[in-house]
Structure 1
Amino acid sequence: MRAVLLLIAAALFGCAANPEKPVAEGKDVRLRLGLAYLAQGKLKLAYPHLQTALTKNPQSLDANLALGQWYLSTNDIDSALSLYQQALSWQPKSGALYNNYAVALCVAGDWKTALTYFDKVTLDPAYSHHARVDANRAECLAQISHDAAQP
């Protein structure tokens, strides 16, 4: 399960920021620092920056996606699910959120619901990372097959 989580997290990481608004253009230094540490696998250093970025701007899609990725990277699946659910309440058509939430659901073992959220990514016409979504869906389906084969 750990290996699958790492594969999903690696596939998901590219979705951690809103592709339409590059983080480098933003003024949130904390978010940029947190993302940089997250990319380097320095999870303990990433967390305070990501948390501060989210506290400063609770409706920042980028901060929510990044902190959700941090939760997944640390196996805190329930916190990731909760964060994504809350973000979806105010950003109900975000392809990035649908994708990340679906990945978290898959990691949690709720594959049926995960597959429905992968399908919802198409509701966001601006979301262009469909190949990544397809790869994440394939990983989820592979996990279903793997778990079904276990005695």
Structure 2
Amino acid sequence: MRPVLLTLSLLLSGCMTTEVTSTTPIESRPRERSDARVELGIGYLKQGNMIKARENFEIALLHDPNYSRAQLSLAHYFEQVGETQSAQSLYSTALKQHPYNGDVLNNYGTFLCKQKHYDQADDLFNQAIKQPSYYLISVSFENAALCSLKSGNKQRAREYFQRALAHQPDRPISLLNLAKLEIENEEYTDARLRLLRFHQRYGVKKSSLNLLIELEQKAGNKALEDGYRRQLEWLD
């Protein structure tokens, strides 16, 4: 359905900057300068300006060399431009320095999954989920599910999608993927209800209509299948 997603949003979370005042400890300032450069780098990355993105991520790391957010940002940049060995090195360093950081564990897991190191990735996702200070549990469960799909383990993917939705019921990727797995298992009622929930939350989409067409075709409901096909034509 969809590839494993690197949660770049993680790089934006959990790192609130504060106003520097005369009472702010001098030690906090490198972290703030690093955060500012990370924000600039992410902005340039979204614009496709890779040179400026790298420049700012590297400056962020110079300001605070052991800062996990700066390490993850530059590692993600290297991943984006195909510098796999450089990305691997940075992710590995980040993990050694921050073995209990959920963001590090999750993002390194997504990288390893893309490199087809599925078991290692699964282990890192589960380590991230277990961290008491890590709150994006649904993200890691979803990434673990997508990685399991990529490895061909549909049963494990199904369990992870269910757990992702238990923590965050309206995750669209998990809703659609779990519905697809339910259709494959001929669990048509569960799949219909799941896709109805998707429509109530996100509206009618091509991806959900295609699943409903597949569902009703397999269930032998010709009239419903044709109705969804007409809806799909209206969306085109």
TM-score by length of 1: 0.80
Mapped partners of 2:18, 2:70: distance in 1: 13
Tell me which residue corresponds to 1:84: 91
Count of aligned pairs: 139
Runs of 4 or more off by more than 6 Å in structure 1?
Answer: none
Mapped partners of 1:24, 1:135: distance in 2: 32
Query: C-alpha displacement at 1:122, in angstroms?
Result: 2.7
Tell me which residue corresponds to 2:16: 22
Tell me which residue corresponds to 2:131: 124
Mapped partners of 1:95, 1:46: distance in 2: 24
Mapped partners of 1:100, 1:47: distance in 2: 18
Query: C-alpha displacement at 1:100, in angstroms?
Result: 0.7
Unaligned runs of 5+ in 2: 20-31, 154-236
Mapped partners of 1:16, 1:47: distance in 2: 15
Q: Given the alignment, which residue of 133, 137, 140 partners 2:144?
A: 137
Greater RCO structure (CA 8 Å; 6+ sep): 1
Q: How does 1:1-151 map to 2 (within 5 A)?
A: 4=3, 8-9=5-6, 12-17=7-12, 19-22=13-16, 26-28=32-34, 29-145=36-152
The amino acid across from 1:131 in the alignment is S
Q: What is the identity percentage for the equivalent residue pairs of Structure 1 and Structure 2?
A: 26
Mapped partners of 2:83, 2:149: distance in 1: 22
CA contact (8 A) 1:77 1:104 kept: no
In our comparison, the structure showing a higher alpha carbon Rg is 2
TM-score by length of 2: 0.53
